[in-house]
Structure 1
Amino acid sequence: MCLIRTFVAVDLPDEMREKIKDIQSKLEPFDLRLVGPELVHITLKFLGDMPEEKVSAISEALDSIECEPFEANIAGLGVFPKPSYAKVVWIGAEGNFVKLHDEVESSLKSFRFKKDRRGFTAHSTIARVKNIPKADKEDFLRILDELKDVEIGKMYVDRVKFKKSTLTPEGPIYETLHEAKLG
């Protein structure tokens, strides 16, 4: 049995990639692992490792999502879990993502994937923090504060993508296995 690492996501439009790159350039002085701008997305549900044979059944389940397409605003910079102990740097996403997330959860219920331990927050990870030494913390927090209200742009969410993630030393490679249209 071949296991593949998978997730369900909304891709950001290509025209947002330059803006993401600009924001990431402001974070370059710090010890972070930046996410390639072309890979930045909004994860609705991480499925983890699963048998490849389930791809068509999951694709079919995702086609049953009942959520109308919606307008979303991609804006604001933040960190998880908190600024004094940042592990992930993200860009916020506002729109009907909670309903969409709940619909994804509901459509996949019969597969018994793990429920998210933390509540769902729509976001796009743009960097993972390796280490911020005490000497750099003040500068890091200042840049986060300067970018907290950054505007990336508006987008129309009309599909979700079921993706495979192959981890490599150079970073992940994503492949879309299925695209489910909303509405």
Structure 2
Amino acid sequence: MIRTFVAVDIPVEFHATISMLQSKLIGSGLRPVDPSIVHITMKFLGDVDEAKLPEIIAAIDRLDCPSFDSRISGMGAFPGMKNPRIVWLGASGDYSCLHEQLEDILSRIGFKKELRKFIPHVTLARTTYLSHVRKKELVSAIDSFRDFDVGLMNVHTVKLKKSTLTPKGPIYETLHEVDLP
């Protein structure tokens, strides 16, 4: 079994800015994501049998969405600012075509459709335990970057990735990529 997901990578040119933003959040109770592996998860597939990979690849090869521009901007938290568990940057642009087609084509080969509303985002960090004071500091820092603009990128490739979890963090490997017209 291999842990897999479908994603859009963030351009290398954004990594330094993402690292700078993370440095403004650093403190106890926060695990930042390595800027070199940040991405926008389009569909988490979970643990799949390796024998199913050709079927998954054939399915995502059927994507028929045009490439589009996406602005990475605005910091926030899931599930919300009262209880920040995941710190993120927003991603605007026409992700709906990709999301809807991925949900449809992958549901045909046995993957459940996601019931939650899709919110394109880049995960910057995850929280562990936050004291009341630390939570207030983090919320204040997030709020100070709520309108921060990282930049504009072109979404022209979607990737099927393998995720290997290690004590030092996940290691991602691209298994297949699809170029959008």
Q: TM-score category by the smaller chain?
A: over 0.9
Equivalent residue for 1:41?
39
SS class of match (1:171):
coil
- After TM superposition, give the deviation of residue 45 of structure 1 in Å: 0.2
Matched, 1:69 2:74: no
Identity of aligned residues (%): 46
TM-score calculated relative to the size of structure 2: 0.97
Question: Are the aligned partners of 1:98 and 1:122 in contact in 2 as well (CA < 8 Å)?
Answer: no
d(CA) in 2 for partners of 1:161 and 1:172? 16
The 5 A counterparts of 1:79-118 are: 79-118=77-116
TM-score calculated relative to the size of structure 1: 0.96
Matched, 1:56 2:54: yes
SS class of match (1:48):
strand
Question: Are the aligned partners of 1:164 and 1:174 in contact in 2 as well (CA < 8 Å)?
Answer: yes
Question: Are the aligned partners of 2:63 and 2:101 in contact in 1 as well (CA < 8 Å)?
Answer: yes
4+ residue runs of structure 1 moved beyond 6 angstroms? none
- After TM superposition, give the deviation of residue 137 of structure 1 in Å: 2.5
Query: Where in structure 1 are there 5+ consecutive unaligned residues?
Result: none
Query: Where in structure 2 are there 5+ consecutive unaligned residues?
Result: none
Query: Which one has a larger percent strand, Structure 1 or Structure 2?
Result: 1
What whole-Å deviation, never above 9, does each CA across 1:64-110 have from its counterpart, x for those lacking one?
11100001100010000011111100010000112211111122122
SS class of match (1:82):
coil
Over aligned residues, Cα RMSD in angstroms? 1.0
What whole-Å deviation, never above 9, does each CA across 1:27-84 have from its counterpart, x for those lacking one?
1124111100011000000000010011122111111111000011000100000111
Equivalent residue for 1:128?
126
Question: Are the aligned partners of 2:75 and 2:145 in contact in 1 as well (CA < 8 Å)?
Answer: yes
Q: How many residues align?
A: 181
